[in-house]
Amino acid sequence: MDGTVATRVMLAAHGLGPGDALALGLEQQGAKVARLGACGASRADWQAAVDAAVRDLGDLDLVVHGTALPASQPADLDSLSLADWQQATSGALFETLCCLQAALPHLRERGGTIVVLGPSAALVGAPGLVPWITLAEAQRTLVKAAARQWGVHSIRLHWLGLGSALYGDALRDAHIPAVPELGPPPPALGRVPDAHADAAALVALLAGRGAASLTGATLNLDGGDWMVP
């Protein structure tokens, strides 16, 4: 954290495995972090929760948002009910939309940064996780559209893919595709990034002056497993 930006952070990632460690890492870099719990299922609920968090923080510089893997997954698509599917896809995307909408009034005047977290596996797909990956790719695209609309307000948005190891037990039974690389086992850096130090440092970088000309980006924090073509 460079001491002038991103000191007030709202984490809207209820139940997301790496969320707590990421928040702790940001706090250790000097940020004040407000952690949102479950925010309800309406835009008004989200607005109330975000407004309360910003009152507690004093202002808002950075929003970090992510969606936890639902209990219904991993599972084959044909084993899911329509209700499971809707909750995991359009229901969750609506919550992301509400989060962005609720943050906008607090960022519109001074600008700021929004980082949406997702699984790096979204870039390659994963069996048993069709709804979650569908959602992640939709969130990644919504980030780009919002970056285009809100750049004029100096609001910058990014999508940050986290390697499966950061999700811990949530992905214990999932079949995450291995990178098609022969030789020494991945990742390229020889270690798996963690949420506490690595993700927090990257999020802080994205919110700082060094990334002031960057928006709508897709970044993949997996130590060099999957490299975008």
Partner 1 sequence: MTQDASSLPEAGLLAGRVALVTGAGGGIGRGIAQALAAAAARVVVTGRRGPTCDETVAAISREGGIAIAVEMDVSDETAVRRAVRTAVDRFGGLDIVVQNANAGGDSARPIAIDAITGDDLLRQARVAWDGSFLCARAALPHLKAGGRGRFIVLGSSFGMHGAAMNPVYSALKGGDRGFVKSLAREWGPHGITVNGIEPSAATEPTEVFFAQNPVVRDLYLKLFPLGRLGSPREDIGRAVVALCSDLMGYVTGQNLPVDGGLYTAL
Which of 51, 76, 109, 173 is close enough to bind partner 1 by CB under 8 A? 76
- Binding piece for partner 1, criterion CB under 8 A, among 60-68, 72-80, 160-168, 189-197: 72-80
- x/- mask, partner 1, residues 128-157, rule CB under 8 A, reads xxx--xxxxxxxxxxxxxxxxxx-------
Rule CB under 8 A: say whether 201 interacts with partner 1. no
In angstroms, give the least distance from the CB of 135 to partner 1: 7
Q: Which is nearer to partner 1, 24 or 72 (CB)?
A: 72
Q: Which is nearer to partner 1, 15 or 177 (CB)?
A: 177
Cα 85 to the chain's mean position, in Å? Answer: 20
Q: Which is nearer to partner 1, 2 or 94 (CB)?
A: 94
In angstroms, give the least distance from the CB of 147 to partner 1: 7
Of 73, 219, 218, the C-alpha closest to 133 is: 73
- Binding piece for partner 1, criterion CB under 8 A, among 53-61, 64-72, 121-129, 184-192: 121-129
Cα–Cα dist 56/116, whole Å: 22
Hey, which residues between 18 and 47 contact partner 1 (CB under 8 A)? Answer: 42-43
Rule CB under 8 A: say whether 104 interacts with partner 1. yes
What is the residue-wise DSSP string for the chain? --SSS--EEEEE-TT-TTHHHHHHHHHHTT-EEEEP----SSHHHHHHHHHHHHHHHSS-SEEEEE-PPPTT-S--GGGS-HHHHHIIIIIHHHHHHHHHHHHHHHHTTT-EEEEEEEEGGGGT--TT-HHHHHHHHHHHHHHHHHHHHHGGGTEEEEEEEE-GGGGGGGGTT--PPPP---SSPSPTTSS---IIIIIHHHHHHHHSGGGTT--SEEEEESSSSS---
Rule CB under 8 A: say whether 178 interacts with partner 1. no
Q: Which is nearer to partner 1, 1 or 92 (CB)?
A: 92
Interaction site with partner 1 (CB under 8 A): 42-43, 76-78, 80, 82, 85-86, 89-90, 93-94, 97, 100-101, 104, 122, 124-130, 133-150, 177, 216, 229
